[in-house]
Structure formats: C-alpha cells, structure tokens
Amino acid sequence: MAEFSRYEVYMLLNQPKPLWLSHLNLSGMDLRGVDLRGATLIKADLTGTHLEGVDLREANLGGATLQGSIIIGADLRKANLRGVNLRNCDLREANLAEADLYEADLAGANLLDANLGGADLTNANLTGANLLRANVPDYRILRAKSLTGATMPDGTRSD
C-alpha cells in the first residue's frame, strides 16, 4: 500500500476530480469536508480517518478499510461500499441512500439517524450496529447476514 506525506495527500486531494486513490494509506488522516465525489478508493486504508461531512457521492470504496473512522454527516449516496470494513464507524446522520453495502462489515457501527433509503444491505454484517431512527425499510435490513445485538430503527433489540 502506498504511503504519502500529509503534504502529498493535500496535493493529491486538490487535483482535478474524480480522484484515483486506490490502495492508498490514508489511515488516521483528518479529511473533514473534503470533496471525494466519484473518487476511486478501492482497497484504500482509511482506518481511524476523520471523514466528517465528506462528499463521497458515487465514490468506489470496494474492499476499503474504514474501521473506527468518524464519518458523521458524510454524503455517501450511490457509493460502492461492497465488502468495505466499516466496523465500529461513527456514521451518525450519514446519507447512504442507494449505496451498495453488499457484504459490508458494519459490526458495531453507529448509524443513528442515518439515511439508508434504497441501500443494498444484502449479506451485510450488522452485528451490534445501532440503527436507531435510521431511515431504512425493514425488508432491506432483513437481507443482512447478521443482526445479532443490533438496535433496530424503532429501538428494539435484535436477537
């Protein structure tokens, strides 16, 4: 995985869009408010990254690792999040409408007040996830691989 200095990352993020950032190590970076619309971040390492308010509409993050990242209020509409590691991420108020979360790992993720309207949760791991007040139809949640210990949108706990 490629590693860049903060300055090099800054220069990369200010290039003409869309960006190609696959296999890049951005772990622990503060990327609040960055415009990554349409970016390609396949298998990028974003572990513990601060992505609050980031625009990731239509971005391709297939197979990326975002474990423990802060993604509050981010715009992930129509993003490809297939197989992405979102374990223990803070996704409060994130907009994931029509996002592809097929086989994504959302164990322990906080999705309080998130918009998951039209999102594909097929085979997603929602073990221990907080979906309280999330906008997501029940039939989409039931496509998940695991809901053990998850808090459902209505506040009930899944067994």
**36/95 Cα distance (integer angstroms):** 14
Record the pTM.
0.92
- The domain made up of 1-159 has a fold known as Pectate Lyase C-like (2.160.20)
Question: Mean pLDDT of all residues in the chain?
Answer: 94
Q: What is the pLDDT confidence band of residue 37, given thresholds at 50, 70 and 90? A: very high
* Contact between 79 and 35 (Cβ < 8 Å): no
The pLDDT tens digits for 25-36 are: 999 999 999 999
**Alpha-helical runs (H) found in the chain:** 6-13, 138-141
Helix and strand numbers (H, E) in the chain are 2, 2
pLDDT tens digit sequence for 40-82:
999 999 999 999 999 999 999 999 999 999 999 999 999 999 9
Domain segments of the chain as ranges: 1-159
Task: Give the model confidence (pLDDT) of 103-127 as tens digits.
Answer: 999 999 999 999 999 999 999 999 9
